[in-house]
Structure 1
Amino acid sequence: MDFSALVTSVGTSFLIFVVLLLLYVWLASKQGNQVVYYPNRLLKGKGKDGYVSKTVNPFTWMAEAWRASEDEIIAAAGLDAAVYLTFVGTALAIMVVSSAVCLPVLLPLSATDRNNQIERQEALAKNKTASSYDDFDNLAMGNIQQKSNRLWGFVVAAYFVSFVTYFILWKTYKRVLNLRAREQASLEAKPEQFVILVQDIPLVPPGKTRKEQVDSFFRRLHPDTFDRSLIICDISQANKVWVEIEGYRKKLARAEFVSEESKTRPTHKTGFLGLMGKSVDSIDFYNEKIKDLMVKLNTKQKVALTEKQAGAAFIIFNSRLAAASAAQVVHSQLTDTWTVIPAPEPRQVLWKNLTIPFYQRMIRANTVYIIVFLTVIFYMIPITFVSAFTTLDELRKLLPFLKWVVDKKALKSILEAYLPQLALILFLAFLPVILMILSKAEGIASESQAVRAASGKYFYFIVFNVFLGVTLGGTLFQSLKQIQKEPSKIVNILGTSLPKTATFFISFVALKIFVGYGLEISRLVPLVVYHIKRRFLCKTEAELREAWAPGGFGYATRVPNDMLVMTIALCYAVLAPMIIPFAILYFAVGWLVLRNQALNVYVPSYESYGRMWPHIQIRIIAALILSQLTMIGYFSVKEFVYSFLLIPLPVASLLFAYLCKKRFYTSFCVTSLEVACKDVKEVPSLSSIAEAFTPPCLHLEDKFDDPEGFEDARSTVSSRASSMVTS
């Protein structure tokens, strides 16, 4: 991509951002759009705390987002959102401080040298094809001559960026740990703080029930603090019936609304898609279906509770301290039995995964890793091809039928400005859902853990395919003929061309800043979808509420995409420092826009108390190590005698990661006893904890008014239950 294409890309992206921002200002002021732009505030206004939603002047959103305190962010969107915004702020701080050396020192060193000009003249003198370059390429390390003393400035900058990253990450780790501890020690106790999850329970001994086995085991180990157990069942059949009942209940509510509105009883046909078959009264039909299914559900519940008890259970203790202590203790001398972890928050429990045995979880995890590895490898092929569009001149030579495109300057600029970035974004759009499905297939117990697992897979995928794929793919394509003639110089050719791919990534980051965050703040897609549903599909209040429900931040894709920008910025901060201003702009705009979304829009579907931070931090270090290895290789290409001085940097990064893990990581896996021992305002009742950890398909009004009755149903196990294996 040449400089004119870069200017075209950045300029038009900025114009799109301005238009989207003006649309937000206009659309958010409309009363009918309040549920799209301020759903969080509206929901808080209906809450028990009496918070009343207020009309917000859209012009003041920047000031409100800027002034909002961390406590306000946590109150509005939860600690996970606050930790995510802390990550964005941390990335911004690293880039801002790094720019203090990289921009004023490295840019003049590069701009005043003339390596690109010398290489071009030498190539022309030898009648070889000379690599094209422009003034923008002269601002990168590629314009520094080999063995030049100017390279000392880049060595100093590499150390400066590395130690700035270490310092800021260390401070942030301590800050997030304190935030997590403060929330966990809150006076408002949560049900999961009194519960642990035990899996891989051995077969039931003869003459005992599963509940008796579990109760006797934990009562013996925790005689003073054990309260009771909730045995987990295979609820797959009961859940199918429950889902069907919920579907008919929604249809019934819709039919009753239509009846009240039209003053006539609605009817429908019972055949295929409601287009054929017998015509029936909808209200009577749905009521009859629900009644029949309730009988069926009751049967399935009894089967699940008595014949399909699994080798897993929730264990309730009488204090937070006891539960925290039990979650950290090895309960069996065999590691594949009585495995214990802290209980996940009730609303994020993945019920079907709780019954998966120990070795099956291991096999599933390894199988998923292999599938992900193959996915990463095979995605490399189309993305490498896409990267070739950054060098249309070379594509013109290999594919002559494209001459009519390349010869038109305006069309060529547009293609170079947008096609590669849009193609990459489209490629990446299909992957997150697949990775989330694979992560849940591992047998993970909670939604938040599945999100972290999917986020990790997505991060490594985009780093390998997008960053390395585009960089190496574009470079190889650009220099293919030269490599064919002189294969031994492939490393030198790759190293020499590496800084020149910075223009592609600058355009890519600019597109994510202006178009990505422009669409985020304007919420055009959710707005259009909401109004279509409201106009043609929604009848009841529940349907309307479901149509505008915003959901959470979607960390499984947000964090890896931000990490991609962080990886690009760290890898090019020294090699091509002009990328730093764009990285600063990306994280600055993101910090402001996402704070607004946390305050006004997104409603968290779960809370993990910042468990994602250690995973974010280790990936920032991984990105830093990648950048350090890249610099070592490039300094070698430059034949710098003292390039060995950079070797300690990746070693220092590994030591820093190890130190952080030893000092902080354990407190993110479990709740420390120091935190758990804090007083609580009120201990949740047994009935409320039992209800919280009951799957929805077993949680019916007529069954759980009496929690003791619920436990009696669970403990009434037939004699053959001891040999039952969960399917």
Structure 2
Amino acid sequence: MSDPDKECPKPDLSDPANGQKQIYVQAVLSLALGATAFICFCLLRPRWKSLYAARKRQSDAAMSLPELPDTFLGWIPVLYRVTDEEVLASAGLDAYVFLSFFKMAIKLLGTMFLITCIVLVPINKHFDHLPTIGDGADPNIPPEFFSQRHLGGDEWSFHNIYKDFGDRLPDNSYSWAYLVFTYVFSGLIIYFMRRETLKIIQVRQEYLGTQFTITDRTIRLSGIPEELRSEDKIKQFLEKLEIGKVENVSICRNWENLDDMMEKRALVLRRLEEAWATHLGRVKSTAVTAAQLPDPNSEVDDETSGYQESDNLLGDNHVTAYEEPRPSTRLWYGFFGLQSRQVDAIDHYEEQLRKLDDRIQEARKKEYPATPFAFVTMDSIPASQMAVQALLDPSPGQLLAKLAPAPSDIVWRNTYLTRSDRMIRAWVITIFILFLTIFWFIPVVTLGGLVDLCSIRQVWPALANLLESHEILKALVQTGLPTLIISLLNIAVPFLYDYLANQQGMISQGDVELSVISKNFFFTFFNLFLIFTVSGTASKFWPLLQDSLKDTTKIAYNLATSVKGLAIFYTNFILLQSFGLLPFRLLQFGSVFLYPFSRMASKTPRDYAELIQPPVFKYGFYLPSAILIFILCMVYSILPAGYLVLFFGVSYFIFGYYIYKYQLLYAMEHPRHSTGRAWPMICYRILLGLGVFQIVMAALIALQKSFTAAILVIPLIPSTVSYSYYYARTYEPLTKFIALRSIRRESSGDTDIIDGSFGTGRSLGHFRRWSTTIDESREKGANFINPNLITPLEKPWIHQRPVPESHGTSTQIRREESEQSSVSLGDTHVWRDNGNSNV
């Protein structure tokens, strides 16, 4: 019987020289993909401004940003010169924190790359190809010396073999270099993370301390006992605590019936608009800007609009003399809805809308049962901050005060879920994610089998022989295909976790966003890194799992061995991400690909208006991948392939910084704002990666039989754990709350207004705040009231007409368009068309 090891040689993929062909193939593919996407973007950007400059055109917060030239590459220097102050003013704290992580990664990984090139590359080049005692079978020693005859005799003992081949004996002195640089890099990571944390805390405290929004003064109070479930009693209770005056109390009530009617009304409204669009013919012109959209919070003047509640829905002219027959719809009725008849669609939906409007008006006047949840607005920010940082009641789980989300972020349906309902939802989603984690084993372990030619040979010998005879094809299958599939999984799976997070019953969309970050990172780190790495190959996964369960110490050894063996794979993974896939994010390939289908499906003016809205930037989709690449750079920084991993890692964060900076400022909207609360999540995951890095280095050094050096690495692991607790106590509170000393009052003399900006007595460092923050602009006139209680009932969008000429500045024109964007014909809004559609 033939020896499988002889039939299936296992080259050391940790040596970059053995993976040069794979890197070259991956580099060519990545550069071809990335260059194509980047060139397409540069050509399409000035032509499709409604997509690539959507936020600049439609968001007031982005109007102060500099205009980007329409030249091929002229936009790059202008984007480069956009300062952190402008990022804060136009995009807010979340965008600032997100980009700060990329800037920190560039500085840290760049420093590590220089150290690696100067010191570690010569060390690894000199020592890495020497035999390793722990390998058991050394390729540098002739196999005949390991025969039974030699190993069994006294003359040819294992010790004598290495004695006779003394020049081939491994010099483990480089293990001490690994020990030293494990400490050095661990210190650098902590230093850069701490420095960036202090900077973000300072900016956050100054930014939030100088603004005055209703959200900053509002707390969410949960666990309210029944005897306190009234506005007056809650107000009296809080004011007796002498933490401040209560300005307003909004108790959440069970408005589920009203919410259901409003959702049904929105559906009927769309069907009515579609019926009219069918009757009048498809809308030919599609341009509707944000300034032309109705403000749901604005009241409609009945006198100026000509609309009265007693009027018909479409006025007196709703019957038109078109040759085309009016659209119809089938109405089911009778026993079990088995009978049907055709009715006029416009009249039917008009009547449904009228009935719903009457029911909604009546429902808004009713009293609903109170829930143990309320939003309490204090008269000052210090009062609200003292409330959320204190215990209000001695009973566990009762009268718990937390920071309130912004009114626009609240998921009102979840506010009147009971605590048990939310807990059940959370547990069900968690258990489902655990099942998903087990399910992901199958594709991930299968992909691991593609990396190893031996596994392919066991399943498909003919394919293995074909790959052996074609080096380029072998590189494509072994590295290109797995990295591409893992990258696609990394793009597709977040959509599933985003849906699951939205079903979990969280109070605000900001909390949902943070939950998506957590869930997607768990998937990328656990499945795409740990499971894929430990499995190594599909054929070895179950034996390795069994060995690890029998002896937990083998987990670290298996992880270290697999990490070293998959160095080229992860190098190519980061290469594909940085040079190949990041430019496609700039191109917004998904939006471009889906646009023709969405346009063909659009029928009504509302459909066309929604079609050109800026895409939403979701941090939970992009941040976990960046953290994973950061961790991979840490883990491989000292190994022989470290200089390649760090080089491509620095490239990823440089490209990512400017690509995401462009999208956050000019192209994509990000309505959720959690005041930078993602930063501690980033730091904890960096510390998790740092712990994995230290475990891997201890195991790798131990595999070289340098047990003393390996033992000296171990103290770093509890030190990292201890620092995470220290971080939670010292820094994390300042990333959640506003320190009382940071709060400014114009009347206190601590704040000076200079040229429309706020200057303070204390140094703001590089930060200088605009007179109005993006949060203040968003929350102007907002209240903590369920919008279904007060929002004017929206009218159908039917027609469009050309926009009259307007004169004045762009700001004046936008204001005039916003004020005059619609006129009423009876109950029907007539929407204008700018005629400037570009997509």
Q: What range describes the TM-score normalised by the shorter chain of this pair? A: 0.7 to 0.9
Q: 1:271 aligns with which of 303, 327, 330?
A: 330
AA at the equivalent of 2:230: R
Query: Using a 3 Å threshold, how does the CA distance of structure 1 residues 226 and 508 change in structure 2: closer, same or farther?
Result: same
CA contact (8 A) 1:232 1:312 kept: yes
Trace 1:454-493 onto structure 2 (pairs within 5 A).
Answer: 454-474=516-536, 477=539
Partner of 2:729: 662
Trace 1:605-620 onto structure 2 (pairs within 5 A).
Answer: 605-620=671-686
Matched, 1:571 2:635: yes
Alpha-carbon distance between aligned partners in 2 of 1:565 and 1:652, rounded to the nearest angstrom: 23
CA contact (8 A) 1:10 1:510 kept: yes
Alpha-carbon distance between aligned partners in 1 of 2:793 and 2:669, rounded to the nearest angstrom: 30
Trace 1:582-661 onto structure 2 (pairs within 5 A).
Answer: 582-640=648-706, 641-661=708-728
After superposition, what is the alpha-carbon deviation per residue over 1:635-674, rounded to whole angstroms, capped at 9, x for unaligned? 1111113222212222332233233222221122222222
CA contact (8 A) 2:407 2:784 kept: yes
Alpha-carbon distance between aligned partners in 1 of 2:206 and 2:117, rounded to the nearest angstrom: 39
Alpha-carbon distance between aligned partners in 2 of 1:50 and 1:96, rounded to the nearest angstrom: 33
Computed over aligned residues only, the root mean square deviation of the Cα atoms, in angstroms, reads 3.5
Q: CA deviation at 1:679?
A: 3.6
Q: 1:421 aligns with which of 464, 483, 492?
A: 483
Q: What SS does the aligned partner of 1:23 have? A: helix
Partner of 1:291: 354
Partner of 1:26: 43
Query: Using a 3 Å threshold, how does the CA distance of structure 1 residues 666 and 93 change in structure 2: closer, same or farther?
Result: same
Q: Percent identity?
A: 20
Partner of 2:219: 196
Alpha-carbon distance between aligned partners in 2 of 1:634 and 1:476, rounded to the nearest angstrom: 22
Alpha-carbon distance between aligned partners in 2 of 1:613 and 1:467, rounded to the nearest angstrom: 22
After superposition, what is the alpha-carbon deviation per residue over 1:456-501, rounded to whole angstroms, capped at 9, x for unaligned? 222122212111122111157479999999x999776764453121
After superposition, what is the alpha-carbon deviation per residue over 1:34-80, rounded to whole angstroms, capped at 9, x for unaligned? 11111011113x67978896664341232122111012222332221
After superposition, what is the alpha-carbon deviation per residue over 1:301-332, rounded to whole angstroms, capped at 9, x for unaligned? 445xx233211111122222222222222111
CA contact (8 A) 1:530 1:548 kept: no
Q: What SS does the aligned partner of 1:121 have? A: coil
Alpha-carbon distance between aligned partners in 2 of 1:606 and 1:480, rounded to the nearest angstrom: 43
Q: 1:43 aligns with which of 43, 58, 63?
A: 58
Matched, 1:183 2:197: no
Partner of 1:718: none
TM-score (structure 2 length as normaliser):
0.73
Q: 2:589 aligns with which of 499, 508, 524?
A: 524
Larger deviation, residues 119-128 vs 99-108: 119-128
The number of equivalent residue pairs is 674
Alpha-carbon distance between aligned partners in 1 of 2:62 and 2:84, rounded to the nearest angstrom: 22
Q: CA deviation at 1:217?
A: 2.5
AA at the equivalent of 1:226: V
CA contact (8 A) 1:17 1:518 kept: yes
After superposition, what is the alpha-carbon deviation per residue over 1:541-585, rounded to whole angstroms, capped at 9, x for unaligned? 432231132333211121111111111111111123131111111
Alpha-carbon distance between aligned partners in 1 of 2:512 and 2:669, rounded to the nearest angstrom: 19
Q: 2:609 aligns with which of 545, 549, 561?
A: 545
Larger deviation, residues 622-631 vs 245-254: 245-254
Q: What SS does the aligned partner of 1:271 have? A: strand
Partner of 1:337: 398
Larger deviation, residues 48-57 vs 539-548: 48-57
Partner of 1:313: 374
Q: CA deviation at 1:117?
A: 6.4
Alpha-carbon distance between aligned partners in 2 of 1:642 and 1:317, rounded to the nearest angstrom: 58
Query: Using a 3 Å threshold, how does the CA distance of structure 1 residues 479 and 258 change in structure 2: closer, same or farther?
Result: closer
Query: Using a 3 Å threshold, how does the CA distance of structure 1 residues 16 and 116 change in structure 2: closer, same or farther?
Result: farther
Query: Using a 3 Å threshold, how does the CA distance of structure 1 residues 277 and 47 change in structure 2: closer, same or farther?
Result: farther
- Structure 2: runs of 5 or more not aligned: 1-12, 14-18, 133-137, 148-167, 283-319, 333-338, 748-770, 795-839
Alpha-carbon distance between aligned partners in 2 of 1:333 and 1:362, rounded to the nearest angstrom: 22
AA at the equivalent of 1:170: R
Matched, 1:700 2:717: no
Q: 2:96 aligns with which of 82, 87, 90?
A: 82
AA at the equivalent of 1:652: S
AA at the equivalent of 1:465: N
Matched, 1:402 2:402: no
After superposition, what is the alpha-carbon deviation per residue over 1:492-530, rounded to whole angstroms, capped at 9, x for unaligned? 676445312110101111111123212111223212322
Q: 2:267 aligns with which of 227, 230, 247?
A: 247
Larger deviation, residues 100-109 vs 249-258: 249-258
Q: Which has the higher helix share?
A: 1
- Structure 1: runs of 5 or more not aligned: 129-143, 704-727
Alpha-carbon distance between aligned partners in 2 of 1:266 and 1:178, rounded to the nearest angstrom: 66
Q: What SS does the aligned partner of 2:507 have? A: coil
Alpha-carbon distance between aligned partners in 1 of 2:543 and 2:276, rounded to the nearest angstrom: 72
Query: Using a 3 Å threshold, how does the CA distance of structure 1 residues 637 and 241 change in structure 2: closer, same or farther?
Result: same
Q: What SS does the aligned partner of 2:127 have? A: coil
Query: Using a 3 Å threshold, how does the CA distance of structure 1 residues 498 and 604 change in structure 2: closer, same or farther?
Result: closer
Partner of 2:646: 580
Alpha-carbon distance between aligned partners in 2 of 1:266 and 1:27, rounded to the nearest angstrom: 42
CA contact (8 A) 2:533 2:566 kept: yes
Partner of 1:508: 573
Q: CA deviation at 1:270?
A: 1.7
Matched, 1:149 2:157: no
TM-score (structure 1 length as normaliser):
0.84
CA contact (8 A) 2:407 2:782 kept: no
Q: What SS does the aligned partner of 1:694 have? A: coil
CA contact (8 A) 1:269 1:278 kept: no
Q: What SS does the aligned partner of 1:567 have? A: helix
CA contact (8 A) 1:200 1:311 kept: yes
CA contact (8 A) 2:695 2:717 kept: yes
Q: What SS does the aligned partner of 1:204 have? A: helix
CA contact (8 A) 1:513 1:589 kept: yes
Q: What SS does the aligned partner of 2:269 have? A: helix
Alpha-carbon distance between aligned partners in 2 of 1:404 and 1:297, rounded to the nearest angstrom: 72
Matched, 1:236 2:256: yes
Partner of 1:17: 34
CA contact (8 A) 1:266 1:283 kept: no
Alpha-carbon distance between aligned partners in 1 of 2:169 and 2:485, rounded to the nearest angstrom: 35
Partner of 2:299: none
Q: What SS does the aligned partner of 1:606 have? A: coil
AA at the equivalent of 2:401: V
Query: Using a 3 Å threshold, how does the CA distance of structure 1 residues 482 and 472 change in structure 2: closer, same or farther?
Result: closer
AA at the equivalent of 1:43: Q
Partner of 1:326: 387
CA contact (8 A) 1:77 1:598 kept: yes
Alpha-carbon distance between aligned partners in 1 of 2:659 and 2:780, rounded to the nearest angstrom: 37
Matched, 1:450 2:548: no
Q: CA deviation at 1:407?
A: 4.7
Larger deviation, residues 79-88 vs 68-77: 68-77
Partner of 1:717: none
Q: What SS does the aligned partner of 1:191 have? A: coil
